[in-house]
A and B are shown apart, each in its own frame.
Chain A
Amino acid sequence: MENNISKAIYRVDGKGKISGKAKYIDDVKFKDLYYAKTVRSEIPKGKILSIKIPNLPKNYFVIDKNDVPGINRMRTVVSDHPIFAENEVHYVGQPILLVVGADREIISKIVNEIKIEYEEKKPILSIKEAVNNKAIFTEYNYSKGDPTKAFQEAETIIEEKYQTGYQEHIYIEPQGIVAEFKDDKMHIFGSMQCPFFIEGAIQDVLGWKTDQIRVTHSTTGGAFGGKEEFPSLLAGQVAVASLKTKHPVKIIYDRNEDIISSTKRHPSIIHYKIGLDKNKNITALIVDVNFNAGAFSGLSPVVLQRGIFSATGVYNFHNLKVTGKNYKTNTVPCGAYRGFGAPQVIFAIEMLMTNIAKRLKINVLDFKKRHLLKSGDSTATKGIIREEVKLPKMIEIVEKMSNYKKHSTEKKKFKGMGMSLFLHGCGFTGKGENDIKGKIILQKKGNQVSINVSSVEMGQGAETALRKIVSYTLSIPIEQVIYEIPDTKKVPDSGPTVASRTTMIVGGLLKSASVELKEKWEKQKDITVTRIYKHPDFLKWDDDKFEGDAYPVYSYGVNVAEVEIDPVTFEIDVKNMWAVYDVGTVIDERALRGQMEGGMLQGIGWATTEVMNSSKGKLVQKNMTDYKIPTVKDIPKFQSEFVKNPYEFGPFGAKCAGELPLTGPPPAIAEAVSNALSITIKKIPITSEYLMEAMKK
C-alpha cells in the first residue's frame, strides 16, 4: 500500500461540497444571533474629532475601543493593528466600530446615520513617499562573500529596477467569524487558517486565559494566506461584541469591504545591481527589496524575510549583499499571500537573468543554467543545499513537453514562449518550526484512529492528505481514519496552516506517530501516540545575522508559458502552461495537480489581469467587477509533470507544494511576452495599457 501513496483517491470532503451540504460559517445556525457591521475610516490619515451616533433602538449596540477589556491590538508577529481605531485612523477601511443587533436592515440604517468628523492629516501613500519620509517599519540586511571587492573587479556592471503590484486573494467565501459568549467562556467559530492564532488574539483582546477561550474551525472556502492573520481581527471584534451583548455575534464581510480592508500581497520595488566578469558570469549581486507594508506592520517582517532570502532564486552567487525594507504607508495593510514575499523577488531575479542575457546577447537559458544551484552549494544565507537539485533534468522534460527549442527560436510576431526556473523554501523560515514545536496526537479507539491536529482543510486537500498518510502507514482503510475538526479545546497546537508546511511537517509527525502506533497496535487496546516537532540537528540558523539554513529543504519548479498577443488591443492570451515540479514525493496526484493548476492560475492572474491600484489612499478596484481574476474562458491548457526526489524528513519523502506553483507563471509569461513583442519587461501586471506604451518606444 505504501508504495502507492501518490495514486489518487477521491477527496474525503468532496461529496459534502459537491452536494451543497457542507456548512460554511454563514450557513451555520446560531440561536438568538446578532449580526455585526463595521464602520470604517473614509480617510487615509487623520484624527477622529467626533463620532455622532444616532439614538439606538433597544437591543442595538455600538462596540468600539472602549469596550475592549484587554489589549486593543491584534496579536500577530508585530501586534500593532488596533482592534478598533483609537484616536487616529491610518488607512481607508480601518475599522472604527461595530454596529450590532438582530436585524440587518436596522443595522444598515444605523450605520448610514453614524457621522464621523476627522481632522485630516497628510498621508504617505506610496513607497516613494515613504522613502522620502523615512517611514520604515523594518529594515534587514545580510551578505555573503565580498561584494565590494567583486564589484571592483567586475568587467560589466548593470543596474535594474523591477516592480510588482498588489494581489488580492479573492477566496470565493468572504471573511466570516462568529463569537459566542456563554457560561463565562468565549467560543469562536469561523473561516480561518490558524485556530491557535485566534486563540492567542482573543487572550489579548479579552485579557483572559486560554481555558476560557475555544476556537473551532468551520469549513473554509479558500484562504491562500488571506485567512492566516486577518481573521484574528474580526474574531477580536466580535468577541468583544458578544461579551457586551451576551448574544452570539456574526460578522460576514460583503465582498467590497473584504477587498478594501483585508490584507493583500505586498506591492514591491526591487533594485538589482549586478557585476559580471569577462566571461559574462555573474560575480556579484546587490539586491534591495522594498515592500509597501501598508498602515500596520503585522506579519510583514516575516514576509520580508522570506522575500529577501529568495533574492537569488535558483542561482548560486558567491558575492552578495541583500537589503530589505518594509515601508509604512497610509494604505491597506498587506500580509500573507501564497508565496509570502517570495514570488515578488523570484519574478525580479528571473526577469533580471532574462534581461541581462538578452542585453549581453547570450542565450537566456544557457545563461541561467551556468548559474544554477546544485547539491552541496551554499544558499544566499550560507545554508547548504542538501537535496539533489533536479533542475537540469526538469528543464529537459519541460523542453520536450513544450517543444521549447523549436518554438522559442522561431520568430513569430505576437507569439512567444518563456521559461521560468524557481524554488520555494519548505516550511517556516529560519527557526520558525523550532519556535512553534508543533504537536500532534494520534488516537486509536477500537479500529478507528483519529488525527488531532490544528491544520485546517481550506480547499488545499489537507484532510485527504493527512488521512492518507496515516491510513497508508497503518495499512488500514481511509474510512477508519478520522480527522477531528480543528478545535483548540480538542486538538493540540500543531502550528498554523501556512508556509506549505502541513503535509511535510504535520504530515511528517503523523507519519512517525503512525509507525509507532503500528508497532504497538493491539486490536482491543486504545492507544494514544503523541509527537512534538524536533528540529533536525544539522539545520543551523543564526537569526541575528541571517546566516545558515533558512529552510530545511526546497521544492523546485520549471514553467514554460506560451502567449499570443492581440496585435490590435495588446491583450495577452496565455495559450499553454507546461510545468515540471519537484515536490519530493507526491502524496496524491490528483489533489496535487489541482494545487498546481490553481496556483498557476493565481500567478497568471497576478501577472496579467489582476490590476489593483490605489489613488489618494483609496483602492481604485474595489469589487469583483473591477478586480479581475481569470475566468474559465481565460485559462491556458495546463500540463504538469512531477519528478520524484524524496526528502528524508518528509512523510513518504514529501516536501512542500502549495505555494510553489504561484511563483512560476509571472516570469515565464513576462519572458514570453517580451519575446513576442521584442520589448523588455520589468513590471507586473503586464496590462494592455503597459504594452501599448512599451510598443511606442
Chain B
Amino acid sequence: MKIEFQLNNKNEIIEVDPSRRLLDILRDDFGLKSVKEGCGEGECGACIILLDGKAVNSCLISAGMINGKSILTLEEFNKTDEYKLIEESFLEAGSVQCGFCTSGMVMSTAGLLNVNKNPNETEIKEALSGNLCRCTGYQMIVEGVKLAVEKMEKEIPLAKSQSRKEEDNYSLGNNAHQIAKSQKIVSKKGEFANTIDEALEILDNEEVTIISGGTDLMVKNAGSSGVKPKFNKQLLFIGNLDQLKKIQLIDEKIHIGSAVTLNELLMNENIPEVFKELISEMASFPTRNLATIGGNIINASPAGDTLPFLYAADAELVLKSKQNERTITIDKFIYGPGKTIIDSNEILYKIIIPAKSYDINYYKKAGSRKGMSLSKASFIGMVDFENDKVSDVRIAFGAVASTVVRSRDLEKKMIGKTKREIDSVYFEVVKKYNKLIKPIDDSRSSKSYRKDVCIRILKEFFGKIIKSK
C-alpha cells in the first residue's frame, strides 16, 4: 500500500504493508537509529518520535496511521537551536547515563516544549511519564528539562512571546510542516477511507479490522521485533476521519467523536473534571496522544479506565452503518470482557455524555505505581443534592468483574436520603456491592485485595457524602 508522509521535513512516498510498525520503518527502511526499541509495547518510550508535533510511541503506530502526517526524529531535531539548549542542559544536569532512553527523553521534551514553553515540574514529569529510565532515578533528567526551559527563556526570546494558547496546544513543531491533508490515495481493498461514508461503504462490503489509535491492537497483535503485527484481516484506518475527531456541545450534552484521543479530551473545556482526572491517570502522555476513547470502549476490557465513568454517566453510543444509525447506552453495548454488540458493518461513531458536573465527584484508582498503571480496581462515585437530600447518585466499579459494576437498584436506595440518613443504608449497600464485585487473581493483583479495596473505597465515598458541606 502506498503511504505518503513527511519525514524530517522531506516528503516521502513508500510502498509498504499498512500494518508494519512505524518503528521498524524508521529504523530499517530509513536507517533512523536514534529511534530505539526497548519493549515493543508502548511502555518504555525509547522509540518516541514526534507525529504532527506530538510525542508518540512509534512501536504503537502502524504504517497506515501515518498517511498524510508529519514525522520528526532526533536525527533532524538535533540540528535545531532548541536541541542545542537541551543538549547543553542534559550535560549540565547529568541527565544521561547509558543513553538508551535518552533519544526518547529528548523527543518527549521536544513534544512538551511544542505545547508548553514554560512547564512546571509536574508538567515535565507528566510529559516524561512514558519514558522509562533505569539508570538515573529521573530526578537529574527532570532537572535537565527544567534547565533547558530556563535557557530557552533567556536565549530564545521568541519562545516567551509564543505564550501558551489553548487552541494551538497541539500545533506542529517548529520544524514540522504538515503536508496537505487531502490525500489522493486510491482506496484499494478498503484500506483507506477519507470520509466516514467511504469507511461505511468499505465496512459494508469487506471483512476488515478497524484501527484507530492502535495502542491496544498493535500490542495485542504484535509480532517479534522487525516482524509485522499479525492481523488476520485488512485494516481500515479511521483515526484520521475529521467527522470522528470532533467534540461538540449540543443541548447540554457533549458529543465526542470516537477517534478523539485521550489527550484531546483533557484539553477540552467542556469535558467534566472528574472524567479528566480519570483520563489523566491512564497510560502515559505519549500513549494518550494516540489512544482514543472509541478504542477504549470497543476494547471492552474489564480494566478499561474510561468505562466506569461512561457507565456512571449513562453514556450513549451512536453506531453507524451504511444503512442505519442507532443509539444505545454503554451498559447495553458491552456484555463481557472484549465483547460488544457492534455489528461487523458498524462503526462506533460518537459517544454522548451529559455536560454535567455533580456536587460530589469522587474517583479512585488502585494501581501499583503512579505512571502507566493499569487498574487493579477503580471507582467512580457522583452525587447531587436537592434540598439537602440526595437527588442523584452514580456509582461504578472497574476492573473487579467481567464488566463495569453498576447497580441502579442500590443507587435508588440512596436517593431521597439526607446526609445523616445515608448512613442507615450503608451496610445494606456495601453488602450488596460485595456480591456484585467478582474480581480475579492475575498478574497485577489478587482477588481478595481487589474486593477489600473496593469496599474501603466505597466506605471512603460514603464518608465524603456524609462530610460534604
Q: Do A and B bind each other?
A: yes
Please report A residues at the B interface, Cβ cutoff 8 Å: 8, 10-11, 13-24, 26-27, 35, 37, 104-105, 108, 169-174, 219-224, 252, 254-255, 458-461, 568-571, 573, 590-591, 593-594, 597-602, 609, 611, 620-621, 623-626, 628-635, 637-638, 687-689, 692-693
Q: Which of B111-119, B306-314, B319-327, B366-374 forms part of the interface with chain A?
A: B366-374
Query: Nearest Cβ in chain B — how far from A177, in angstroms?
Result: 15
Interface flag for B94 (CB, 8 Å): yes
Chain B, Cβ-Cβ closest to A8: B94
Indicate if the CB atoms of A172 and B125 lie closer than 8 Å: no
User: Within residues 213 to 228 of chain B, which ones have a CB less than 8 A from any CB in chain A?
Assistant: 223-228
Chain B, Cβ-Cβ closest to A258: B39
Query: Nearest Cβ in chain B — how far from A506, in angstroms?
Result: 19
Given the contacts A255-B38, A632-B138, A594 and B97 also touching, CB distance less than 8 Å: yes
Interface flag for B184 (CB, 8 Å): no
* Contacts A/B (CB < 8 Å), 12 sampled: A11-B91, A11-B94, A18-B96, A172-B44, A172-B101, A222-B98, A459-B97, A571-B366, A630-B369, A634-B369, A635-B138, A689-B446
Chain A, Cβ-Cβ closest to B102: A17
CA distance A568 to B372 in the complex (A): 20
Interface flag for B177 (CB, 8 Å): no
Q: Which of B126-134, B345-353, B383-391 forms part of the interface with chain A?
A: B126-134
Indicate if the CB atoms of A18 and B106 lie closer than 8 Å: yes
CB contact between B96 and one of A17, A623, A633 (< 8 Å): that residue: A17
CA distance A219 to B102 in the complex (A): 13
Indicate if the CB atoms of A632 and B129 lie closer than 8 Å: yes
Chain B, Cβ-Cβ closest to A15: B87
Given the contacts A602-B134, A628-B369, A629-B132, A222 and B100 also touching, CB distance less than 8 Å: yes
In the complex, chain A residues whose CB is within 8 Å of the CB of B128: 632
CA distance A14 to B89 in the complex (A): 11
In the complex, chain A residues whose CB is within 8 Å of the CB of B224: 37, 104, 108, 254
Indicate if the CB atoms of A173 and B98 lie closer than 8 Å: yes
Indicate if the CB atoms of A632 and B131 lie closer than 8 Å: yes
Indicate if the CB atoms of A20 and B98 lie closer than 8 Å: no
Chain A, Cβ-Cβ closest to B124: A632
In the complex, chain B residues whose CB is within 8 Å of the CB of A626: 443-444
Indicate if the CB atoms of A14 and B370 lie closer than 8 Å: no
Indicate if the CB atoms of B40 and A254 lie closer than 8 Å: yes
Query: Nearest Cβ in chain B — how far from A361, in angstroms?
Result: 31
Interface flag for B457 (CB, 8 Å): yes
In the complex, chain A residues whose CB is within 8 Å of the CB of B96: 11, 14, 17-18
Chain A, Cβ-Cβ closest to B17: A105
In the complex, chain A residues whose CB is within 8 Å of the CB of B33: 20, 23, 26-27
Indicate if the CB atoms of A631 and B369 lie closer than 8 Å: yes
Scoring B residues 200 to 218 as 1 if CB is less than 8 Å from chain A, else 0, what string do you get? 0000000000000000000
Please report B residues at the A interface, Cβ cutoff 8 Å: 33-34, 36-41, 43-44, 46, 73-75, 78, 83, 86-87, 90-92, 94-103, 106, 125-126, 128-129, 131-142, 223-228, 284, 364, 366-374, 376, 443-446, 448-449, 452-453, 456-457, 460
Indicate if the CB atoms of A633 and B97 lie closer than 8 Å: no
CA distance A15 to B141 in the complex (A): 15
In the complex, chain B residues whose CB is within 8 Å of the CB of A19: 34, 74, 78, 83, 87
Indicate if the CB atoms of A568 and B36 lie closer than 8 Å: no
CA distance A171 to B37 in the complex (A): 12
Chain A, Cβ-Cβ closest to B458: A568
CA distance A463 to B444 in the complex (A): 40
Indicate if the CB atoms of A18 and B102 lie closer than 8 Å: yes
Given the contacts A104-B227, A169-B134, A254-B224, A20 and B74 also touching, CB distance less than 8 Å: yes
Besides the known contacts A173-B100, A598-B136, 5 further A-B residue pairs in the complex with CB atoms under 8 A apart: A108-B224, A223-B98, A568-B364, A626-B443, A631-B372
Given the contacts A569-B364, A590-B94, A20 and B223 also touching, CB distance less than 8 Å: no
CA distance A568 to B449 in the complex (A): 11
CA distance A687 to B223 in the complex (A): 32
Query: Nearest Cβ in chain B — how far from A648, in angstroms?
Result: 29
Indicate if the CB atoms of B369 and A597 lie closer than 8 Å: no
Indicate if the CB atoms of A625 and B374 lie closer than 8 Å: yes
In the complex, chain A residues whose CB is within 8 Å of the CB of B446: 689
Indicate if the CB atoms of B132 and A172 lie closer than 8 Å: yes
Indicate if the CB atoms of A568 and B460 lie closer than 8 Å: yes
Give the most central of A23, A460, A593, A632: most B CB within 10 Å: A632
CA distance A219 to B96 in the complex (A): 13
Query: Nearest Cβ in chain A — how far from B14, in angstroms?
Result: 17
Indicate if the CB atoms of B39 and A631 lie closer than 8 Å: no
Indicate if the CB atoms of A569 and B456 lie closer than 8 Å: yes
Given the contacts A624-B41, A628-B368, A692 and B452 also touching, CB distance less than 8 Å: yes
Indicate if the CB atoms of A688 and B449 lie closer than 8 Å: yes
Indicate if the CB atoms of A638 and B139 lie closer than 8 Å: yes
In the complex, chain A residues whose CB is within 8 Å of the CB of B225: 104, 252, 254
CB contact between B90 and one of A13, A14, A568, A611 (< 8 Å): that residue: A14
In the complex, chain B residues whose CB is within 8 Å of the CB of A602: 134
Query: Nearest Cβ in chain A — how far from B190, in angstroms?
Result: 23
CA distance A629 to B43 in the complex (A): 10
In the complex, chain B residues whose CB is within 8 Å of the CB of A13: 99
Indicate if the CB atoms of A598 and B131 lie closer than 8 Å: no
Chain A, Cβ-Cβ closest to B367: A571
CA distance A184 to B97 in the complex (A): 37
Indicate if the CB atoms of A20 and B75 lie closer than 8 Å: yes
CB contact between B443 and one of A17, A20, A23, A620 (< 8 Å): that residue: A620
Indicate if the CB atoms of A458 and B364 lie closer than 8 Å: no
Indicate if the CB atoms of A597 and B137 lie closer than 8 Å: yes
Query: Nearest Cβ in chain B — how far from A690, in angstroms?
Result: 9
CA distance A14 to B224 in the complex (A): 31
Indicate if the CB atoms of B39 and A624 lie closer than 8 Å: yes
CA distance A625 to B39 in the complex (A): 9
Indicate if the CB atoms of A461 and B97 lie closer than 8 Å: yes
In the complex, chain B residues whose CB is within 8 Å of the CB of A568: 364, 453, 456-457, 460
CA distance A688 to B457 in the complex (A): 14
Given the contacts A11-B91, A20-B75, A173 and B36 also touching, CB distance less than 8 Å: yes
Chain A, Cβ-Cβ closest to B75: A20
Chain A, Cβ-Cβ closest to B452: A692
Indicate if the CB atoms of B372 and A173 lie closer than 8 Å: no
CA distance A609 to B103 in the complex (A): 26
CA distance A21 to B445 in the complex (A): 41
CA distance A599 to B134 in the complex (A): 9
Query: Nearest Cβ in chain B — how far from A314, in angstroms?
Result: 23
CB contact between A255 and one of B40, B228, B364, B444 (< 8 Å): that residue: B40
Indicate if the CB atoms of A633 and B41 lie closer than 8 Å: no
CB contact between B87 and one of A18, A594, A601 (< 8 Å): that residue: A18
CB contact between A638 and one of B137, B371, B448 (< 8 Å): that residue: B137
Query: Nearest Cβ in chain B — how far from A360, in angstroms?
Result: 33
CB contact between A221 and one of B83, B100, B136, B284 (< 8 Å): that residue: B100
Query: Nearest Cβ in chain B — how far from A221, in angstroms?
Result: 3
Query: Nearest Cβ in chain A — how far from B242, in angstroms?
Result: 32
In the complex, chain A residues whose CB is within 8 Å of the CB of B129: 631-633
CA distance A621 to B442 in the complex (A): 9
CA distance A21 to B97 in the complex (A): 15
Indicate if the CB atoms of B136 and A597 lie closer than 8 Å: yes
Indicate if the CB atoms of B142 and A632 lie closer than 8 Å: yes
In the complex, chain B residues whose CB is within 8 Å of the CB of A573: 370
In the complex, chain A residues whose CB is within 8 Å of the CB of B99: 13, 16-18, 22, 219, 221, 459
CA distance A391 to B72 in the complex (A): 51
CA distance A569 to B83 in the complex (A): 42
CA distance A11 to B135 in the complex (A): 14
In the complex, chain B residues whose CB is within 8 Å of the CB of A11: 91, 94, 96
Indicate if the CB atoms of A634 and B94 lie closer than 8 Å: no
Chain B, Cβ-Cβ closest to A104: B226
CA distance A283 to B80 in the complex (A): 66
In the complex, chain B residues whose CB is within 8 Å of the CB of A598: 97, 133-137
Given the contacts A11-B96, A254-B225, A170 and B132 also touching, CB distance less than 8 Å: yes
The 7 closest A-B pairs by CB, nearest first: A20-B34, A459-B98, A17-B99, A221-B100, A631-B371, A597-B137, A20-B74
CB contact between A172 and one of B46, B448, B453 (< 8 Å): that residue: B46
Query: Nearest Cβ in chain B — how far from A546, in angstroms?
Result: 33
